[in-house]
Chains A and B, each alone.
Chain A
Amino acid sequence: MTITSFAFLAFLFVILVLYYICPVKGRWLVLLAASLYFYVISGAVYFIPFIAGTSFIVWICSVRIGYLYARSKEMTSIQGLDKKQKKAIKARYQRRASIWLFLAIFLCIGYLCVVKFTKYVTAYLNTGAGFEKYSAAWVIVPLGISYYTFSTVGYILDVYWRRYEYEKNYVRFFLYAIYFPHIMQGPISRYSLLGQELKKEVRFDSRQIVFGAELMLYGLFKKMVIADRLNLFLHTIYDGNMEHPGSLFLLAMICDSFMIYMDFSGYTDIVRGASQMFGIELEQNFNHPFFSKTVSEFWRRWHMTLGGWFRDYVYYPITIAGWMKGLNKFNKKYLPQRIARFITVVIPVMITWVCTGLWHGTGETYLAWGIYYGVLITLSTAFAPELEGLKKFLGIRDDAESWKWFQTIRTFLIFTGGRVLTSPGSLENTKLLFHQIATDFQPWIFFDQSLFTYGLTASQWLVILFSLLLVWRISLLQEQGSVRELLSRQNIVFRWTIIYLAIFSILIFGIYGPGFDASSFVYMQF
């Protein structure tokens, strides 16, 4: 069952009715049952024992860590101990806790690595054998494995780092792990936020139902009217044939950036809206990334929960790791200040971005993608003084509108450059794509009607253009405040006209039907 299907809407409606007729204290159990049922009807029954087993082990590890910390506190509060003795006791318990942490992380990340890398390992082992000696078919890929892994690893690390207490009730933790709106494609929810949300005693509030439904409608519009329509064109261009005119590839590159944003942010809006109807807030995952002026800002606005996860659980631990501090001290002592600072930045940034790339995919394209962003961010930091000097030399003012537009377009093009490393399927194809742009551009296809033979008619392109302008206008309004709040303050006729227009535009302009796999959200593969 996909979240853009009528079956999902019907499922949601039934669950909402059951949720609100159930006594307040038992409502979280309705969500648990609904989440289990969601996996059953999504054809992922096998996922339930996997997630139940692994989440139970992670939970047990967190309980043990919590117990060891409590013992540590008890032991250090004994009177008569000096500071050194207390430190030694604390360190002893911390070491024991780290064993439980290691066990949980080994289990979660280990299985994620098995899922992601087995096909490459078996392919390597089969090289030269002439037949399939080793097979990767035995690897079960549970639905949303990457998102589930990151959520649970985040939980156990936060407990280990004493950011919050472990969850005392396993069933509640199980609900956090399996909660159906967030598990397939994020947002990667922190236990400190979603865990608390799921504990709330939610009362019926028509306003949150309406707000949730409006957000879902907006998400469906972005996904079904724009992303799926753009995909009709993109599937025609990125079909393995790298001999299309260069101008088409250039257009595809730009369309691909809009498609992925509409697809992924549309998905997030749908699940956040669905969750809001249950009174459960999921974290924001997108904050108008195409308005960003720098690459760093872009990644603070795009897939925010993934960026935040890598920052908190990969980048910061590397930054403050003993070996990194030792290296920094050494560099400060023996190297010029600027080079020392460069090394301080480059190592954690590059490791974090290579890991982010590998999270998306294990092939060469995603490795290149990770290195691309790592190098860009490192260079922009390392050469910040020179760039600032150049700006002054050219007399560019930060508040000039033209400069702001330049920065925004530049950031969009950098993002597009990153997408083109992965979308054509291989680095070889990326090379061929740029070769076509440089040697066989054929700009006349935009004027001789032949553009309209690549999956989309002229009217389809107009629908896309108009829809993108609409999303842009709504995004500008959202930058100033909540559009749904604004809409709720309008009179009933205007409000419902807008809602009906949204519904009918999805029904009329949405992409459905045989031959088109509207179900596939791009980020679901991760």
Chain B
Amino acid sequence: MDKIIAILSGLKSGVDFATAEGIVTNKIIDSIDIATMISSIEEEFDIEIGMEYMENKNFDTVAAIWKMVQEIEEE
């Protein structure tokens, strides 16, 4: 999860992403940041995020992102 926090912190400073909720829903990061974040997560974890995961609920908290990464890794 630390790696995910580091990626998010690189996108926007001054936000405590470890505790942040509604990262996408509450527009803490915008769609351009999301594109960068996806590319970084894919590179970091060597996974491919498909369109079926492109929903706010999968990116709203660090825990949700981590859960999604694990799900993709298990596939």
For residue B39, which residue of chain A has the nearest CB?
Answer: A328
A317 and B4 CA atoms in complex are apart in Å by 22
A300 at the interface (CB under 8 A from B): yes
Check A296–B30 contact: CB distance below 8 A: yes
Complex contacts, B50 vs chain A, CB 8 Å:
161, 320
Contact with A along B33-75 (1 / 0, CB 8 A): 0111011001000001111101100000000000000000001
Secondary structure call for the A interface: helix
For residue A384, which residue of chain B has the nearest CB?
Answer: B32
Complex contacts, A317 vs chain B, CB 8 Å:
51
A320 with B38: in contact, given A161-B51, A300-B27 (CB under 8 Å)? yes
Q: 8 Å CB contacts to B: which residues of A379-410?
A: 381
A344 at the interface (CB under 8 A from B): yes
Q: How many residues in B have their beta carbons less than 8 Å from beta carbons of A?
A: 18
A204 at the interface (CB under 8 A from B): no
Check A163–B39 contact: CB distance below 8 A: no
Check B51–A316 contact: CB distance below 8 A: yes
Contact of A319 among B27, B35, B55 (CB under 8 A): B35
**7 A-B Cβ contacts within 8 A?**
A161-B51, A162-B52, A163-B52, A300-B27, A315-B31, A315-B35, A345-B36
Complex contacts, A377 vs chain B, CB 8 Å:
32
Check B27–A325 contact: CB distance below 8 A: no
Contact of B36 among A162, A296, A325, A344 (CB under 8 A): A344
A104 and B74 CA atoms in complex are apart in Å by 32
Q: Which 6 A-B pairs have the closest CB atoms?
A: A319-B35, A161-B52, A161-B51, A162-B52, A316-B54, A311-B31
Check A348–B35 contact: CB distance below 8 A: yes
Complex contacts, A296 vs chain B, CB 8 Å:
30, 32
Q: A162-B52, A315-B35 are in contact. List 7 more A-B contacts (CB 8 A).
A: A161-B51, A163-B55, A311-B31, A315-B31, A316-B51, A328-B39, A377-B32
Contact of A349 among B32, B55, B75 (CB under 8 A): B32
For residue A321, which residue of chain B has the nearest CB?
Answer: B51
Check B35–A345 contact: CB distance below 8 A: yes
Secondary structure call for the B interface: helix
Complex contacts, B36 vs chain A, CB 8 Å:
341, 344-345
Check A381–B32 contact: CB distance below 8 A: yes
A325 with B52: in contact, given A296-B30, A300-B27, A315-B31 (CB under 8 Å)? no
A312 at the interface (CB under 8 A from B): yes
Check B30–A344 contact: CB distance below 8 A: no
Contact of B32 among A87, A162, A345 (CB under 8 A): A345
Complex contacts, A312 vs chain B, CB 8 Å:
54
Check B54–A320 contact: CB distance below 8 A: yes
Contact with B along A278-302 (1 / 0, CB 8 A): 0000000000000000001000100
For residue B49, which residue of chain A has the nearest CB?
Answer: A320
A317 and B32 CA atoms in complex are apart in Å by 13
Complex contacts, B32 vs chain A, CB 8 Å:
296, 345, 349, 377, 381
For residue A347, which residue of chain B has the nearest CB?
Answer: B35
A325 and B49 CA atoms in complex are apart in Å by 11
For residue A294, which residue of chain B has the nearest CB?
Answer: B30
A312 and B58 CA atoms in complex are apart in Å by 14
Q: What is the CB-to-nearest-CB distance from A33 to chain B, in angstroms, rounded to a whole number?
A: 35
Contact with B along A324-346 (1 / 0, CB 8 A): 01001000000000000100110
A377 and B51 CA atoms in complex are apart in Å by 24
Contact of B39 among A300, A316, A325 (CB under 8 A): A325
A441 and B48 CA atoms in complex are apart in Å by 58
Complex contacts, A316 vs chain B, CB 8 Å:
31, 34-35, 51, 54
Q: What is the CB-to-nearest-CB distance from B8 to chain A, in angstroms, rounded to a whole number?
A: 16
